[in-house]
Amino acid sequence: MDLELSIYIGKLLAAVYLILGVAILANRAYFTKAYSQFIDNPLSMLLAGFMALVLGLILVMNHNIWVGEWYVLITIVGWISLIKGVFLLLLPKVTDQIWGPIIRKGYIMPVAGIFALLFGIYFGYFTWLA
């Protein structure tokens, strides 16, 4: 196992999740509107599915580590991204049916913001502080 790679990816994920979490919590209405339009736009769904697929494959192919340390969460993030990409590309209408109503009403944004912030803190702690 390459601990340097885990720390590098963890730092990257910490920064992304911290910024995303703060942005979502500070601009809930904006993100609700943006995600509502995203769900309604086939090109956005296609591009997001492709990007999630590529990111997931990169993480899974380079960091598929299933041990009980903190960095197992990097592997889980990779697999979730990979599955999300496949789902968005193969079943975009199902994605709209499942997530569309939840996203359009704005219920998920505070939860997503808090989860992103917690993930950022988690990765930041283990890569910058511990």
pLDDT (tens place) for every residue of the chain, 130 residues total? 688 999 999 999 999 999 999 999 999 989 888 888 888 888 998 999 999 999 999 999 999 999 878 999 999 999 999 999 999 999 988 888 887 788 777 788 899 999 999 999 999 999 998 7
Rounded distance between C-alpha atoms, residue 89 and residue 126, angstroms = 33
**Residue with the two structure tokens 């997503």:** 112
At 105 the pLDDT is 78
| CB contact at 8 A, 120 and 15 | yes
| CB contact at 8 A, 47 and 90 | no
Q: Which domain holds residue 90?
A: 3-129
Rounded distance between C-alpha atoms, residue 100 and residue 29, angstroms = 15
| CB contact at 8 A, 48 and 81 | no
Rounded distance between C-alpha atoms, residue 78 and residue 122, angstroms = 16
17: closest CA among 125, 117, 98, 94? 117
User: What's the domain count of the chain?
Assistant: 1
